[in-house]
Each structure stands twice: as structure tokens, then as C-alpha cells.
Amino acid sequence: MTQSCDILISGGGIAGLTAAAAFGTAGFKVICVDPAPRITDGNAKGADLRSTAMLQPARALLARAGVWEALAPHAAALQVMRIIDAGGEVAEPRVTKEFDASDISDEPFGWNFPNWLLIRELVARLEALETVDFRPGVGTTRLFTRTGSAKVSLSEGGPVTARLVIAADGRGSPMRTAAGIGVHTKRYGQKAMVFAVTHPVPHDNVSTEIHRTGGPFTLVPLPDRDGMPCSAVVWMDDGRATMDRMALDAQAFEAAASDRSCHHFGPLTLVSDRQVWPIITQHADRLSAERVALIAEAAHVMPPIGAQGLNMSLTDIATLLDLAEARREGLGDAQMLEAYHKARHSDVRMRVQGIDLLNRASQAQAPLARDARAAGLNALYSAAPVRKILMQMGLGMR
């Protein structure tokens, strides 16, 4: 038996769940599916131990989705972005620059949350919405579109007819493939290791990114844990070196991580499991097809630098939501989806290319290249107008 809805969302990660909450809160009838169960306990096996910095524009969308009030008590504010170049022969800071949100705003740059907690609060929001039918453990299998609607087959249950299909189903998006949209992919030979640590020196709501050869080592503030300052860490490096570190016991790993952090916050103590993610850059040729819109990693993937990834995804959702609310009768039609593509495509391409350049610079091994990276950081920071423009662009304000 065929079911019908306004919007079928393929993918129940943070972006897909946020889209379901946002469109459901706006009164659209939504079905959201994902083949994997959602893990909402940070101590459970398989929990997503990464964290996400929600930048200023993201809060407005989370409020529209009815979830910000539940998230706010768990937020760790990001007031300052500190960048350290430690790319000399000795692992110690050569250039340290701080970008303070007070230079451009009365608010912090953003707020950091553990991913498993975001998932927990988003799932709770969907359970409270009569307009949303969330089906974990169910995936999409086939897509058939025509001018007036799309028909999507599911791995369990009958097919669904929808006016709009939102593909939020990851970098290997089945719906993107079914819609015939191609992608361009770059690989760096890097992996990102994510974990959480405590440390004796307070982070003071400063996100710290330390550059040496191989990729940045980033510590992002989290709420205190067991009375100690706590940070989420993303350690990007050569893939083989990363996997070698995964094999270290906790004590040896803590020593290696503390050395890589230049002991900036003192010795680091591991307080979570370690997880590894491949680093690629990828962007779709188009962000829409007949009755289909791509968001999040179905549309764009980039290295975790500057908190751009998920925040771009939330901008995708906000743009699509604005278009849908402006002309509900035209939900999912060619005019709406072409407007979505035009509104997002150039910004996505610019940010993907910018993060690609930053990541390649972070991998620099030759002394001259490392020196050029340090000099570039110093020059960008020293020009106040340029510094403010970069901060505004990072937040998506320009």
C-alpha cells in the first residue's frame, strides 16, 4: 500500500533529523527514514563521539525546529578561535593568533555539542511532533520521479509518494545516485581521529587549532567532566600514522596526543573511545533534480576545518525551508528546486575550494612551505579589515 507525505527525507543523521524537525514544525507532513538505528547514549557501543560546533546562524534554524531550548543547557560557548602554527623543527608554537567573536558580534562564534547528544534531543523532538513519522532501521531503495511527485521504495513497508525528496543520506547517497547526479571527489590520504580528553588548564571557551605537518590538531571546548576542563579533539594526519596511533594503549596514546598538542592545555587524559573517519573533499554536480534536493554530505563533504561541514548543511536546510514556506503550493516543483540550486551551489563550491586549500596547506612538509603557512597566518591576522571579513565569512554572514 502506497503512503503519501509532503516530504520524504532519506537519512537520519544530524542533518536529516534537523530537516525533519524543521519541516515538521513548519507544518509539513514528513517521513524520515534511515537504515541504521539512532544511538542516543554517549556510553553505548557505536555512539557518535564526534562533536559539532553550531555557529551563530545555526541557532536560528534550531530554534525554528523547536530544539534549541532543549540543547542550550548543554552548550559549550566558542568565544575565541585560536590558531597556532607549530610547524618548525621543534613541536612548539611559532605563531599564535586569536580571532575573538567580540570583534564582530555580541555573541560567541558558536556553541559546541557532542553529536550523540544532538541526536538524542533531535529524536526527542521528532517524537513530540505529530507531523513527523521517523523510521530508524528503514532505508530507501528505489526512486521514480515525475513532474508532480516522486515515488520512493523502502527496505521495509510499502512505497511512499512525496512532493519533495530530501537526500540527507551521506557521501554515498543512494538518492543522489538514483537521481542521476554526479560528484567530484578528492582524496588526501588522511584520516581524522576523534576523541574527548580532560586537561588541567581551562580552555576558557577557546577553540584551539594547532598546525604541524599532516593536518591540524583541534581542541574544541566541551562542558567540564568530573570537575576537569574537557575538550573534543579532531586529529587529522596521514592515514597510516593515524591507524598506528589507534593501536596504542591509552597511556602511550595520551603521551602522543599531549606532545602533538604542544602541551598547550597540559597533559591530556583520554575520556572516550577513539574513532577514525576518512578525509575527502566532495561536491555534487547539482544540488537538485526532478523532485529531489540534496543537502549535507549528499551535496558536499569537506575536511573538518573551521566548523564548516554541518553548518553548511544547516544553511542548506534553512534555504530549502524558506523556499518551501514562501510557496507551499509549489513544494518540490522545478521552480523551487532551481531556486534552491542557484541559492546554494556557488557558496558550496567556494567553501569546498577554500577548505581544500587550507587542508593542503596544513599538510605541508617542506620547511619553506611550512614557513609560508606561518607567514600567511600572520599576514591575514595583522590586517584588521581582512581578519573581520574572514570571521564573518566563516560564520556565513557574508
Please name the residue that has the C-alpha cell 554572514.
397
Q: How far is CA 15 from CA 56, 268, 310, 311, in A?
A: 16, 31, 7, 9
Residue 97: pLDDT over 90: no
10 Å Cβ neighbour count for 52? 25
Of the chain, the end-to-end C-alpha distance in Å amounts to 47
Give the predicted TM-score (pTM) of the model: 0.86
pLDDT band at 140 (very low <50, low <70, confident <90, very high): very high
| DSSP percent split of the chain into helix, strand, coil, nearest 5 | 35, 30, 30
Q: How far is CA 322 from CA 189, 295, 327, 343, in A?
A: 38, 14, 9, 11
CB 175 within 8 A of CB 184: no
Residue 398: pLDDT over 50: no
Q: Name the region of 70 (left: φ>0; alpha: ψ -120 to 50; beta: rest).
A: alpha
pLDDT band at 395 (very low <50, low <70, confident <90, very high): very low
- Tell me what the mean pLDDT of segment 261-272 comes to: 94
User: Of the given ranges (20-34, 79-93, 305-319), which has the lowest mean pLDDT?
Assistant: 79-93
Q: What is the pLDDT of residues 178-214, one digit of tens each?
A: 999 999 998 888 899 999 999 999 999 898 988 877 7
3-state secondary structure of 362: helix
Q: For 156, which DSSP code?
A: S
- Alpha-carbon distance 317 to 7, whole Å? 13
- Alpha-carbon distance 122 to 134, whole Å? 11
- Alpha-carbon distance 26 to 66, whole Å? 10
* Type of residue numbered 13: G
- Alpha-carbon distance 271 to 247, whole Å? 17
Residue 396: pLDDT over 90: no
- Top-tier CATH class for 3-71+113-185+280-359: alpha beta
SS (H, E, C) 224-288: EECCEEEEEEEEEEEHHHHHHHHCCCHHHHHHHHHHHCCCECECCEECCCCEEEEEEEEEECCCE
